[in-house]
Every structure is written in C-alpha cells, then in structure tokens.
Amino acid sequence: MSKWKGIITLVAVGNPLFYLVAIGIGIGILVTENSGTSGTGGVEYIVFIAPALLANTALLGAMDETVFPVMEGFKWRKMFYATNSTPITGPQIALGVFIAALVRVAFSVFLYWLFLIAFGVLSFQDSWMAAVVAMYGGAAFGALMMGVVAGVKKDDYFLTVLGRLVITPLFLFSGTFFPLTNMPIYLQPIGWISPLWHTTELGRYFGYGAEVSTTMLSVHFLFLTAMLVAGIKISNIRFANRLLK
C-alpha cells in the first residue's frame, strides 16, 4: 500500500469533495425544491446520503486492499508463496492483508468524516459512531472479499464481473440515494443482502438519529458480524490450503 500512498490520499480527499458538491449539494437542492425532506426522514438530502457515502468509502477501500493484493500474492507476482517459505503461515499472511486493508479503510473513512464535519453536514459529537460503523462494515466486506478472491484461480473476467455485477448494484440498490423501501419490491432483496445497506442504515442511526427499530439494529449488526466471521474463516482456510500446493 505504501507505494500508492499518494494516489490513495488523493482519492480519499477528492472523492468526498466531488460527491458532497455534486450529489449532496447539487442534486440535494433539486430534491429539496421538489419534495422537501419528506422522503429523507425529515433531514436535508446531503445529511441523508452522508452516512451512505461514508459507508461506500469504507467498502471500496476494503475491496481495493483485499482484491488486488490477494490476486497479486497468489497469481500475478506469487509473493505469498515466497513469504510462506518462511515460518509465516497462510492464516498469518491473510491477517497481514486484512490489517493493511483496515488501515486503508480507517484512513479514508476518517478523512471523509472530517469533510462532513467541516461542511457542517454532521455534528462532531453526535456522528463519530457513524465513522466507526462504516469502518466495521468495511472490515466485514473486506474479510469476505479476501476469502472469495483467495479461491480465484483464473482472473480473466473476475474483476469485470466483480465491478459490474457486484459493486455497481450494491451502490445503486442499497438505499444509498433514496430509502430502500422506495424501490420496487422485487429489487429490495438486493439491499437486504448488501453490506452497504446494513452499514448505511447503522450510519444513519448513529450519524443523525434516523429512526431504526431495535430489532433492525440487531439485524444489521448480526449481518455484518456474520460476514466478518465467515470472511476471516474462509480466508484462513483458503490461504492455508492454496499455499500447500
């Protein structure tokens, strides 16, 4: 990650500015003028989407720091095999990749959160838990992605399918720009299984006090926790098994 620190910093700074100005302020003005705040839980549109953009930053950062390093370590440059020739085991290598991903996630989320505070979108004392939740969602998604990618032997179309059929639908159909209930019922299940939706809902609750029932809070946390535990378990098994060959 260190050799890309300039680009990582630029993306972490640039994305918040572009999204906040273009979507939060630009589109937000149109939404407010045409429908007020009735469709966003009584808050301004920029406040409504802020936790979603924070969560999306975490998930994309986690994906970048798990998908590409794992592909590089197993297939492109095969560095994991050299590392595994030392006393370092497969699960320990997986843990190292995961920790590096968490550093990227924490850095990006923290910068984004500071921008939200600086723009007056969220309150410092009331929204810090939204940043923590976003990091937790990024950790859960990153762990699962690391486990999935560790089993990929041929990457011919994997990255294309991942970007177009996984990441894009998550961003569009996870209640990011409007409540999930506004979508047709046959599309809502995409959100139900989306870590972005669960993270966003928790972020809205902790960010500005959106109404979320105790039951749904538990569901959101349990979903992300199950994803985190399953991802780490799968990663450890696949890293160990693949490095034995």
Digit-coded pLDDT (tens) for 137-159: 999 999 999 999 999 887 777 77
Helix axes 90-118, 5-19, angle to 10 degrees: 40
Q: Which domain holds residue 69?
A: 2-243
User: Mean pLDDT over residues 1-5, rounded?
Assistant: 56
Domain count, the chain: 1
- pLDDT of 39-66, one tens digit each? 677 788 888 988 998 998 899 889 989 9
Alpha-carbon span 179 to 147, nearest angstrom: 30
Alpha-carbon span 94 to 151, nearest angstrom: 13
Q: What angle do CA 78, 142, 57 make, to 5 degrees?
A: 120
Residue 199 structure tokens? 């993270």
Cβ count near 51 (within 10 Å): 29
Q: What is the pLDDT of residue 86?
A: 92
User: Mean pLDDT over residues 122-133, rounded?
Assistant: 91
DSSP secondary structure code for residue 27 in this structure = I
Q: What is the pLDDT of residue 197?
A: 96
Query: Confidence class of residue 196 from pLDDT cuts 50, 70 and 90?
Result: very high
